[in-house]
Amino acid sequence: MTKKIIIILLLNYLLTMNGIELATLIENRIKPDDIKSTNTMTITNKKGRKKTLQLISKSKDNSKRQMIWFLSPPDDKGMSFLKIEHDDKDDLMKMWLPGFKKLRRIASSKKSDSFMGSDLSFEDLTNRNINDFSYKLISNESECEYKSTTTSCYELESIPKNINSQYSKHITWVIQENDTYLSIKENSFDKDSQLLKIKSIEFEQITYSQDSDSAITNSSKNFYIMNKLDVKNVQKNTSTSLVVNDISINLGIEDKDFNEMNLKRLP
Amino acid sequence: MKKISASITETCILYPKSVIFYSLLSIVILMGGLPYVHQDDDIINLLPEDIGSRQVFDEIQKEYGLTEYMYVAVGNNNTSILNKNSLKVIWDLTKEFEQIRKNDTLIVDNVISISNFNKIYLEIEEYTEGDIIYKDSLISVDDLMESKTLNNTQIKNIDSYLNDNPIIKKRLISKNGDYANIIIIPMDNEYYPDLAREIHRITDKYKTTNSTPFEFHFGGQAYVTGAVPDMVQSEVKILLVYGLLLMTIILFINLRSIQAVFLILVIILFSMMSMFGFMGWVYHFTNSKYFFFTLMNTSMPIVLLTIANSVGVHIISKFIRKLRKHRDKIIAIKETMKSLHMPIFLTSLTTALAFLTLYFSPVSAMIGYGITIGFGIMCSWILSNTLLPALIVILNWDVNSSAVSKPSYIENMMTKFGSLVSTKPKNVLTLGAIIVVFSIIGIQYINVEVQYNKMFKKGNVIRDSAEFLDENMTGNVNLLFRVRDTLDYKMTIIDSSIKGEPFKEPKYLNDIALLQNFLDSLDNVKTTISINDIVKQLHKVYEGNNQDYYSIPDSRQKVSNLFAFYEMNPDENISSILNDYKNETIITALMSTFSTQKVPEYQYKIQDFINDKIDNKNLTFELTGMMAFIVDFMWLVVKSSIMSLVLSILVIFITASAFFKSWRYGIMAIIPLTAAVALNFGLMGWFGIELTHITALLTSIIIGVGVDFSIHYISEYKNYKETTDLDILSKETIDSVGYPIILDAWSNMAFGALLLSSIIPLGHIGGLMVLAMISTSIGALTLLAAALELSKNKMK
């Protein structure tokens, strides 16, 4: 009986949840301090031709600090990218082109630019500040596909407020796994309110224990780490698939490691 | 055959109203197809897909998008275009052009102008890390105009950017800086006509609404391709009406009877309606593109008109002469149809067969053209044997009127002419032969030209605009060069994961630069565009906007890094110039209008340069562009016309031999025809009239009309031979058949009205039409008549 009451109360709570609360729940998903991964990015152009890039990524503070090094194709090997997000000023973005042995900053106003010719823009790689958007919960009982299974999900609308964005709004489908809210699909609309991109995201659950690398102890934590991202630009009819492999977390990467010197050499 | 014909004539006489009713009913049913006539303005559809240069061109369009552009130059003479108001207008025009739609479908792929041209530049930005303020330069790719309304500083910045980048400036602004160039890239070539119309609609607003109205000039191969069909069709419509009016007047002057002229016009108009109705029905039931009404088909009404006129004139003039003799319309029509049924059937059959030989034409549009005209000719034959005699029967003919009772002046003239031929046949034949031989010599001077500037008279909007763009902008036409590493290209076809990407190699880019520099040195080349322009610009900017670095980088890695960097820009358009595997690229030479005769010359020069200067044997260079394959197409039309001519002459020879039961008559039938063709093309050479795909069509008219004259003459000659003394045989024949031949030829000369056209080839058609009528009619009455006179004893 008690369980039933709790469930009813919980359901009631969920049903009355509003947009900002859901956005906060997504934002508050527990994340590791840092992540290192090897990624494969496949870019498909409108003629269906594919280009595959291998890259290593290191990030910290929910990707507020991030460095990416390109391993292949051979011609792009050694190119790298540094991003440091700031709350109170423009973000810092720099690219290292090894052929020229020169660093070049990327203007923060260029967030709509494509990242390495993919369908991901620099803005897509940047964390969203929860206060920069207004939210509206469109539905709490939508149906959506996740890992080939139909599941119930929330539908959340986010509209940028007073920020420089390439988008006019996002519609995000959110599922709940245990206590964690995960954005598994997102439609992003351009400034003319036309659908621009469809993103599908998959997560991998990683259990981390400080005491042992493998044993699950009381101090173990479960992290949901994105391990697959598909982006389709419906206007250009191009797509990008990012597969995240070899994920390592909480390696003790420090803020100072995100510097120009490290950008110039492969990890 | 004679019995069938006699029975048809008998039916027309006994039941004229029923014959008229059923004839009209059949015409109405055929006319039901008129709404299904499918007009197709896309000139590209006319071009066979297996022309080599077109195949390369099509592959380029598929890989890189459309390469034929429309240009709109906007501005005012001697007023700098870089001012607030003009830039606002360019901004608005660019936005409006970008949104041009047809039935809600966007028909513009891209618009490039000073407002949205991608400038690659270094931007100085200050930023702080900790307490330290840093200054850094960022590479930016932005639109040249930041917004619609600019302040003086922003305009000055644009000016200095353009001055720093003269190659870009050349593409966007006229050499005096008073006009801006807006480049419109269509979504598909099928939209060229709609786009040309819409561009005029949009720009017309700016000609009137501004306090200082803007001047506009339009050009580019895509624009001309889109604008010409409308222009040709509207001119043909007007001039056709003038021609028809003039023809009516000529017929009336000679026949002096309204109802006689009316009957001829009825046959002409109903044949034409039936022909186009047939075309509509066939398209409706088959959806075959052979039956599109294209620019080529514009000449169909003129061709059928001349042929149907010929049938009508022969019947009516014969009827009037018989009426004068017998003073009874029933006897007159019976005798007319009796003596003309065979020649009319034969002329219709041979002409229709001659047109049907176009079925073997490599130009698909000509197949439908031949079949449709063939049908129209047989319609005019049927109507001449049914509707025409029935109408003659129900109309009242005043036998005392001067039209009937007195011969016309042409008839009188023919009597004298007949005497001349029969008394001095050798002289007539020799003179005719000399004229033909003299003409044949002129054939070698024929120039082949499809350059559209030369197709329009001065004062025509297309010609004037083209001359303006040639003089002040980057010209009107372009040639394309596809450069490919053949080995790498073949390998990526087998295995797309192979990433040789040879055009990242500085050596390859330097080879392109060599060719590009050579192209820049050629006459008529205004500027060239290649992947090197982007690479050099990026290199310069990446190296701190240092002009010394406006060059190809010295390592593959640098080139690759620049490509990767450039591809980050959302508006990058590298794929419009370099393929995804980076083993094939295109070089575009923007050129002022030049003669198509220069195309092969350019081909040889460029090939020689490549052989001498470029030692990279992996590279292949192919020249194409609409200009190049229109030249190929035109040669195809010429070859097709020659093939059709030979086949037609063969068909006429066989048919005439079979019906006149002697190969000698077969030979005689083709003498005036071949002489007329030689005369026409020879005089084209002597008078400098250029051979185009339009003037080449004249062969059809010469054959269609020429064969009529020959067969009517031979048929009448044979008839007289059975009853008349050989001494006066030619005189009698000319006396009888000369009048309708001359009247037919003279009335067809009314299409000399086409000489008034502002489209030069149409004017040429008008002039040559007059010449064709003279040569075919005189050819029949001199060469043929003299040849028959000289061989009358050998002919059965």
B171 three-state secondary structure: helix
Q: What is the pLDDT, as a whole number, of residue B44?
A: 67
Interface test with chain A among B541, B543, B560, B566, by most A beta carbons within 10 Å: B560
Q: Confirm if B170 and B527 have CB atoms less than 8 A apart.
A: yes
Bridge partner residues of B186 (DSSP): B108
Q: How confident is the model at residue A11 (pLDDT cuts 50, 70, 90)?
A: low
> Which amino acid, residue B273?
M
Locate tokens 């005043």: which residue?
B398
Residue B635 exposed, middle or buried by CB count within 10 Å (0-12, 13-18, 19+): middle
Cβ–Cβ below 8 Å for A114 and B128: no
What DSSP string describes B629-669? HHHHHHHHHHHHHHHHHHHHHHHHHHHHHHHHT-HHHHHHH
Angle between helices B258-286 and B387-394 (to 10 degrees): 150
CA distance B37 to B297: 11
Query: pLDDT tens-digit profile of B246-277?
Result: 889 988 988 888 999 999 999 999 999 999 99
- Chain A residues closer than 8 Å to B568 by CB: 113-117
Of B127, B558, B567, the CB nearest to A90: B127
Query: pLDDT tens-digit profile of B607-639?
Result: 899 889 888 888 888 888 776 776 777 777 777
- Chain A residues closer than 8 Å to B556 by CB: 75
H/E run at residue B367 = helix B364-385
Q: Is the pTM of this model over 0.80?
A: no
Q: Which residue of B has its CA nearest to A44?
A: B580
Mean pLDDT of B502-527: 92
ipTM of the complex: 0.80
Q: Confirm if B115 and B91 have CB atoms less than 8 A apart.
A: yes
- Chain A residues closer than 8 Å to B499 by CB: 73
Characterize the bridge pairing of strands A221-233 and A238-249.
antiparallel
CA distance B503 to B579: 10
- How many of the other CB atoms lie within 10 Å of CB of B796? 9
Q: Which residue of B has its CA nearest to A115?
A: B568
CA distance B580 to B583: 8
Characterize the bridge pairing of strands A238-249 and B38-39.
unpaired
Best-predicted range by mean pLDDT among A86-100, A140-154, B372-386, B424-438? B372-386
CA distance B227 to B223: 6
Bridge partner residues of B622 (DSSP): B482
Query: What mean pLDDT value characterizes chain A?
Result: 85
CA distance B356 to B350: 10
CA distance B417 to B731: 8
Of B136, B496, B564, the CB nearest to A76: B564
Interface test with chain A among B498, B561, B584, by most A beta carbons within 10 Å: B561
Three-state SS letters, B207-238: HHCCCCCCEEEEECHHHHHHHHHHHHHHHHHH
pLDDT at A74 over 90: no
Query: pLDDT tens-digit profile of B17-36?
Result: 999 999 999 999 999 999 99
Cβ–Cβ below 8 Å for A107 and B125: yes
Residue B157 exposed, middle or buried by CB count within 10 Å (0-12, 13-18, 19+): middle
Closest CA to B117 of B181, B70, B68: B181
Q: Which residues contact A260 (CB under 8 A, 6 or more apart)?
A: A82, A94, A96, A103
pLDDT at B53 over 90: no
Q: How confident is the model at residue A214 (pLDDT cuts 50, 70, 90)?
A: very low
CA distance B51 to B56: 9
pLDDT at A215 over 50: no
> Which amino acid, residue B241?
V
Q: Which residue of B has its CA nearest to A79?
A: B561
Q: State the Cα angle at B49 between B290 and B637, rounded to 5°.
A: 70
H/E run at residue B86 = helix B84-98
Bridge partner residues of B482 (DSSP): B586, B622
- How many of the other CB atoms lie within 10 Å of CB of B15? 14
Cβ–Cβ below 8 Å for A76 and B560: yes
Cβ–Cβ below 8 Å for B501 and A75: yes
Bridge partner residues of A55 (DSSP): A39, A70
Q: Which residue of A has its CA nearest to B500?
A: A75
- Chain A residues closer than 8 Å to B560 by CB: 75-76, 99
- Chain B residues closer than 8 Å to A79 by CB: 561, 564
Buried/exposed B439-465: b ≥16 CB within 10 Å, e otherwise: beebbeebebbbbbbbbbeeebebbbb
What DSSP string describes B119-151? EEEEEEEEEEETTEEEEEEEEEEEESSSSSS--
Closest CA to B408 of B261, B256, B262: B256
Cβ–Cβ below 8 Å for B568 and A73: no
What DSSP string describes chain A? -HHHHHHHHHHHHHHT--HHHHHHHHHTS---SEEEEEEEEEEE-TTS-EEEEEEEEEEETTTTEEEEEEEESGGGTT-EEEEE--SSSPPEEEEEETTTTEEEE--GGGTTSBSTTSS-BTTTTSPPPGGGEEEEEEEEEEEEEETTEEEEEEEEEEEE-SS--S-SEEEEEEEEETTEEEEEEEEEE-TTS-EEEEEEEEEEEEEE-SS-SS---TT-EEEEEEEEEEEEETTTTEEEEEEEEEEEE-----GGGSSHHHHTS--
Of A79, A99, A114, the CB nearest to B555: A99
CA distance A208 to B241: 90
pLDDT at A37 over 90: yes
Cβ–Cβ below 8 Å for A100 and B129: no
Q: Is the dihedral of CA B536, B539, B540, B541 positive or negative?
A: positive
Closest CA to B439 of B698, B685, B700: B685
Query: pLDDT tens-digit profile of A104-119?
Result: 877 666 677 777 778 9
- Chain B residues closer than 8 Å to A115 by CB: 568
Mean pLDDT of A186-213: 85
Of B123, B559, B561, the CB nearest to A107: B123
Buried/exposed A97-118: b ≥16 CB within 10 Å, e otherwise: bbbbeeebbbbbebbbbbbbbb
CA distance B419 to B409: 16
Query: pLDDT tens-digit profile of B673-715?
Result: 888 888 888 888 888 887 776 677 677 767 777 788 888 889 8
Q: What is the pLDDT, as a whole number, of residue B129?
A: 66
Mean pLDDT of B665-674: 87
> Which amino acid, residue B118?
N
Closest CA to B73 of B218, B184, B244: B218
Q: What is the pLDDT, as a whole number, of residue A198?
A: 95
Closest CA to B516 of B587, B603, B592, B620: B587
B280 three-state secondary structure: helix
> Which amino acid, residue B268?
I
- How many of the other CB atoms lie within 10 Å of CB of B378? 19
Buried/exposed B121-139: b ≥16 CB within 10 Å, e otherwise: bbeebebeeeeeeeebbbb
Mean pLDDT of B278-307: 86
Interface test with chain A among B138, B538, B566, by most A beta carbons within 10 Å: B138
| Count of CB pairs separated by less than 8 Å, A with B | 80
Q: Confirm if B510 and B551 have CB atoms less than 8 A apart.
A: no
Interface test with chain B among A81, A111, A113, by most B beta carbons within 10 Å: A113
- Chain A residues closer than 8 Å to B128 by CB: 89
Of B518-522, B747-751, B782-786, the range with the lowest mean pLDDT is B747-751
What DSSP string describes B445-493? GPPB---GGGGB-TT-HHHHHHHHHHHHSS-SEEEEEEEEEHHHHHHHH
List of domains in chain A: 2-263 (2.50.20.10)
Query: pLDDT tens-digit profile of B128-177?
Result: 666 777 666 666 777 899 889 999 999 999 999 899 888 889 889 998 89
Cβ–Cβ below 8 Å for B569 and A106: no
Q: Between the CA atoms of B403, B409, B413 and B415, what dihedral angle is there, to the nearest 10 degrees?
A: 30
